[in-house]
């Protein structure tokens, strides 16, 4: 969203014929750029004017910082001759933005713009990726500078991630190989770093050649196909069978995962006695809070390939019985959940909705899950049928409101396949202006609204912690978001009967422009979450410390 400070930037965009999309809110612009970067592996870009434009970016930038997503934001700033004189909309925005990004690049000399832009992209893509802000003071922005053609050269290694791959220490790799070779029940825990590294092939080879099951975080879904016999689903706060396997494992290989609160079920997983190999591009994440027996600092793809090669020096280990056991457990879990996935209950239950989404979205499609309880249901039940980013969730910050702008960004990155967003009624009301954006740019996205007339996650937690009826500031007015979509000129539908879900989703996905399918789901707070939240099971009291 433009302002006077960046008018020359917009004029340059117009003269050069670049594609620029006006977004209803800078936070949404950062979210859309974040989703674009997740899908393409190339830095997403966005811009904001000074003051409220810059400060509105913060939530989106932290999402990218915590998620390891490359992003470059151009931000206007006050004229340097008048700064600190209470210029219109002026604030200490650099101090506000600094903890939300990897680096701030301030342009003090206009002749250095090409150099500093290259610097921004290099930092955004190097090591663990993240967001970088280019700050452009008004007088520099409106200045005129002469450049040679060579000044505009691009460093190709900074145009996509991983920018430069690093390999773990060879001795550490051998220690890790010794641990894995000796294990009878090893398990791989795959995080979002597998996607950042594009480490799908070496991960699948290691998994298949050595019979090692793979569990994933919400961000790591698609590290291996969820339909693979050795894929055991999500682990952590909610789990199919993975948490039990973690507790029974005699060696864990953690790849591109920070082992944060959700992945560890509030730091109760894994057991302190379980040997851990941790492979991560961020050295500071290895052993952050738990003991690590072999720390591998480096790129996930390189580290997995080196580890697989090192295992070749060990005698082959048969884990056929382990694989059979895993398959039996998966089959039992599927049989126990099949009834809910086919339920005709009204209001509609979440397992039925997720099952219908899985049936409606083709293999080349993408599901974008907003923060909140909808993402946990999708993380638990939705199967990615191929390796790669077919499931996008804003787990860096888990901010509500990502669903609509994230779907727009994902669709711009993935025009060849359908993009479906899953958001809540609270999430859409935060960013409903994005429907105008989607219509204006004619983005063929389908937004599925989980409508429970509540801030569902909060209401469910209040129910779990304080009991039935103890709800405060978690109820919303019941809205028909199909009608809201039609008011914006988009296709809109409302579904109350589960029998109508399939046809409504098919019609929406086939529509050439933006669509909204509003789905009335359960209002019972006891049924809003996939299971008992670990925070409700172990509420933190004053003075408590994590185990």
Predicted local distance difference test score (pLDDT) of residue 546: 40
The C-alpha angle 345, 347, 348, rounded to 5 degrees, equals: 65
pLDDT in tens, 376-410: 999 999 999 999 999 999 999 999 999 999 999 99
CA distances for 411 relative to 36, 39, 75, 202, 438, angstroms: 8, 9, 25, 28, 10
Residue 545's pLDDT band, with cuts at 50, 70 and 90, is very low
Cβ 71 vs Cβ 33: under 8 Å: yes
pLDDT in tens, 75-89: 999 999 999 998 889
Q: Which helix (H) or strand (E) holds 71?
A: strand 71-77
DSSP 501-539: HHHHHHHHHHSSS-EEEEEEB---GGGSSSS--HHHHS-
Predicted local distance difference test score (pLDDT) of residue 540: 47
Q: Is the pLDDT of residue 532 over 80?
A: no
Q: Is the pLDDT of residue 266 over 70?
A: yes
Hey, what domains does the chain have and what are their CATH numbers?
4-158 (3.40.50.970), 170-326 (3.40.50.1220), 342-536 (3.40.50.970)
> Which residues are CB-contacts of 99 (< 8 A; sequence separation ≥ 6)?
none
The rounded Cα 225 to chain-centroid distance in angstroms is 17
Cα within 13 Å of Cα(85), Cβ side: 6
pLDDT in tens, 426-459: 999 999 999 999 999 999 999 999 999 999 999 9
> Residues of the chain with pLDDT > 90: what percent?
93
Point out the least confidently predicted range of 49-58, 272-281, 525-534: 525-534
Predicted local distance difference test score (pLDDT) of residue 535: 73
Q: How far apart are CA 488 and CA 309, in angstroms?
A: 56
- In the DSSP assignment, the letter for residue 416 is T
Query: Nearest-CA neighbor of 334 among 272, 381, 393, 395?
Result: 381
Cβ 404 vs Cβ 369: under 8 Å: no
> Which residues are CB-contacts of 435 (< 8 A; sequence separation ≥ 6)?
404, 484, 485, 488, 490, 514, 516
Residue 539's pLDDT band, with cuts at 50, 70 and 90, is low
Q: How far apart are CA 172 and CA 170, in angstroms?
A: 5
Predicted local distance difference test score (pLDDT) of residue 537: 63
- In the DSSP assignment, the letter for residue 288 is S
| Residues pairing with 371 in the sheet | none
pLDDT in tens, 127-147: 999 999 999 999 999 999 999
DSSP 97-147: HGGGSSEEEE-SSGGGHHHHHHHHHHHHHSSS--EEEEEEEHHHHT-----
Predicted local distance difference test score (pLDDT) of residue 324: 98
Q: How much is the mean pLDDT over the chain?
A: 95
Residue 470's pLDDT band, with cuts at 50, 70 and 90, is very high
Average pLDDT over residues 162-169: 95
Residue 316's pLDDT band, with cuts at 50, 70 and 90, is confident
- In the DSSP assignment, the letter for residue 348 is B
CA distances for 133 relative to 72, 112, 177, 376, angstroms: 6, 16, 41, 31
| Residues pairing with 294 in the sheet | 277
The distance in angstroms from the start CA to the end CA of the chain is 46
Predicted local distance difference test score (pLDDT) of residue 88: 87
Q: How far apart are CA 352 and CA 348, in angstroms?
A: 7
Residue 544's pLDDT band, with cuts at 50, 70 and 90, is very low
Q: What is the 3-state secondary structure (H, E, C) of 423-458?
A: EEHHHHHHHCCHHHHHHHCCCCEEEEEEECCECHHH
Q: Which helix (H) or strand (E) holds 73?
A: strand 71-77
Q: For 330-413, where are the E strands, in sequence order? A: 366-369, 391-393
Q: How far apart are CA 480 and CA 18, in angstroms?
A: 37
The rounded Cα 42 to chain-centroid distance in angstroms is 15
């Amino acid at each position: 969203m433009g302002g006077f400070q960046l008018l020359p930037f917009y004029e340059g965009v117009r003269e050069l014929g670049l594609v620029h999309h006006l977004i209803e809110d800078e936070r949404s612009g950062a979210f859309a750029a974040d989703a674009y970067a997740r899908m393409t592996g190339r830095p997403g870009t966005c811009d904001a004017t000074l003051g409220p434009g810059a400060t509105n970016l913060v939530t989106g930038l932290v999402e990218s910082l915590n998620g390891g997503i490359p992003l470059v934001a151009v931000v206007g700033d006050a004229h340097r001759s008048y700064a600190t004189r209470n210029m219109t909309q002026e604030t200490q925005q650099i101090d506000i933005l600094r903890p939300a990004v990897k680096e701030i690049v301030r342009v003090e000399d206009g002749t250095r713009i090409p150099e500093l832009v290259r610097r921004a992209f290099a930092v955004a893509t190097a090591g663990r990726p993240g967001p970088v802000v280019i700050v452009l003071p008004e007088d520099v922005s409106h200045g005129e500078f002469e450049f040679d053609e060579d000044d505009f050269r691009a460093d190709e290694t900074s145009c996509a991630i991983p920018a430069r791959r690093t390999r773990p220490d060879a001795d550490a790799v051998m220690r890790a190989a010794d641990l894995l070779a000796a294990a009878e029940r090893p398990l791989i825990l795959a995080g979002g770093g597998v996607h950042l590294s594009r480490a799908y092939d070496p991960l699948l080879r290691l998994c298949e050649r050595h019979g090692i099951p793979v569990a994933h975080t919400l961000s790591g879904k698609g590290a291996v196909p969820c339909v693979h016999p050795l894929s055991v689903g999500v682990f952590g706060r909610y789990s199919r069978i993975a948490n039990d396997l973690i507790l029974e494992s005699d060696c864990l290989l953690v790849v591109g995962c920070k082992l944060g609160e959700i992945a560890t079920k509030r730091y109760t997983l894994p057991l302190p006695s379980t040997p851990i190999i941790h492979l991560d591009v961020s050295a500071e994440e290895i052993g952050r809070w738990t003991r690590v027996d072999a720390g591998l600092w480096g790129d996930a793809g390189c580290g997995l390939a080196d580890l697989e090669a090192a295992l070749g020096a060990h005698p082959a280990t048969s884990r056929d019985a382990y694989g059979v056991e895993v398959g039996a457990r998966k089959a039992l879990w599927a049989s126990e959940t099949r009834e809910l996935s086919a339920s005709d209950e009204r209001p509609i239950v979440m397992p039925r909705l997720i099952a219908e989404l899985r049936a409606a979205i083709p293999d080349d499609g993408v599901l974008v899950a907003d923060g909140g309880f909808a993402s946990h249901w999708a993380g638990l039940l939705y199967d990615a049928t191929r390796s790669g980013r077919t499931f996008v969730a804003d787990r860096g910050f888990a901010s509500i409101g990502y669903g609509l702008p994230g779907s727009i960004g994902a669709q711009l990155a993935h025009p060849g396949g359908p993009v479906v967003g899953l958001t809540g009624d609270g999430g859409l009301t935060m960013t409903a202006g994005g429907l105008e954006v989607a219509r204006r740019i004619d983005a063929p996205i389908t937004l599925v609204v989980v409508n429970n007339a509540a801030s569902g996650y909060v209401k469910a937690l209040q129910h779990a912690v304080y009991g039935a009826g103890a709800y405060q500031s978690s109820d919303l007015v019941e809205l028909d978001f199909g009608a809201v979509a039609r008011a914006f000129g988009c296709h809109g539908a409302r579904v109350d009967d589960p029998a109508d879900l399939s046809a409504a989703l098919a019609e929406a996905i086939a529509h050439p422009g933006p669509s909204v399918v509003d789905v009335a789901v359960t209002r019972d707070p006891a049924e809003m979450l996939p299971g008992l939240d670990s925070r409700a099971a172990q509420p933190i009291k004053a003075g408590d410390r994590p185990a």
